[in-house]
Amino acid sequence: MMSIPKGTINELTFHSAELEEEVKLLVYLPATYSPLYKYSLLIAQDGKDYFQLGRIARLADEFLDKREIENLIIVGIPYNDVEDRRRKYHPDGEKNGAYIRFLAHELVPFLDREYPTYQMGMGRALIGDSLGATVSLMTAVKYPNTFGKLILQSPYVDERVLAGVDELAHPHLLNIYHIIGTGETAVKTTDGKVKDFLAPNRDLHRLMEEKKFHVFYEEFEGEHTWKHWQPDLKRALKHMF
């Protein structure tokens, strides 16, 4: 059996003026990477988790080798700790606005300078699980011309999220993949509370249907864990790319 050529994962650091800190990036480049080709971008919140728990690079290697997805660069943004994650990803987090601006105004121009990317909304996707999905969604509804694709794995949804989605004037700009588990009715969040994720996600889906978003939605049998998100990544990547 022929072994599949492996892409490379490089660690980069660059300074964010919005966040006033050095941001670490994990950048996956395909085995056949060449500056002569054009690449779609997938930007992952919970970046380290997607590479380690999601095994996203291995999936990309496999799909690219079989030519089952288009040329793709994956950029993971790891969080520093649980508190840092909440500050940046939660709609009420004190660094949430700055993090969203960092993604749109700093990270995208940096990646477009460094790599041969498709410099348009449909050439860029955001992915995240739980709060990482939430901040991905809130970023895309604020900057739909910058980020045209979204993979949402069990997002945290509250009134602010629903309001943000409702306010988007041009839903056709976004292509969304959205999953939630039927067992996600009592999820213990990092602030120690227990929340129902399922009902608000159903509300979110209804709203997206009403507003005629281009959306794939499915409820899986299971809880709020990587045990379900990891195998789902296969379909998510194929669906988007």
Q: Label residue 67 by pLDDT band (50, 70, 90).
A: very high
Residue 164's pLDDT is 96
172-185 tens-digit pLDDT? 999 999 999 999 99
What's the pTM? 0.96
Averaged over 67-89, what is the pLDDT? 95
In degrees and rounded to multiples of 5, residue 154 shows phi and psi of 50, 60
Residue 190's pLDDT is 79
Averaged over 114-125, what is the pLDDT? 93
Averaged over 30-36, what is the pLDDT? 96
Residue 1's pLDDT is 60
- Dihedral over alpha carbons 57, 43, 48, 32 (to 10 degrees): 30
Residue 94's pLDDT is 97
- Paired tokens of 5: 């050529």
183-227 tens-digit pLDDT? 999 988 877 889 999 999 999 999 999 999 999 999 999 999 999
For the stretch 64-72, contacts whose Cβ atoms lie closer than 8 Å and that sit 24 or more positions apart, written own/partner, are 64/7, 64/30, 64/31, 64/32, 65/4, 65/5, 65/31, 68/238, 69/237, 69/238, 69/241, 70/40, 70/241, 71/30, 71/37, 71/38, 71/39, 71/40, 72/30, 72/39, 72/40, 72/41, 72/42, 72/241
Q: Label residue 44 by pLDDT band (50, 70, 90).
A: very high
Cα 232 from chain centroid (whole Å): 14
Domains defined along the chain, listed by start: 8-240 (3.40.50.1820)
Q: Label residue 3 by pLDDT band (50, 70, 90).
A: confident
Averaged over 132-157, what is the pLDDT? 97
Backbone CA torsion sign across 17, 136, 116, 10: positive
**Mean pLDDT for the chain overall:** 95
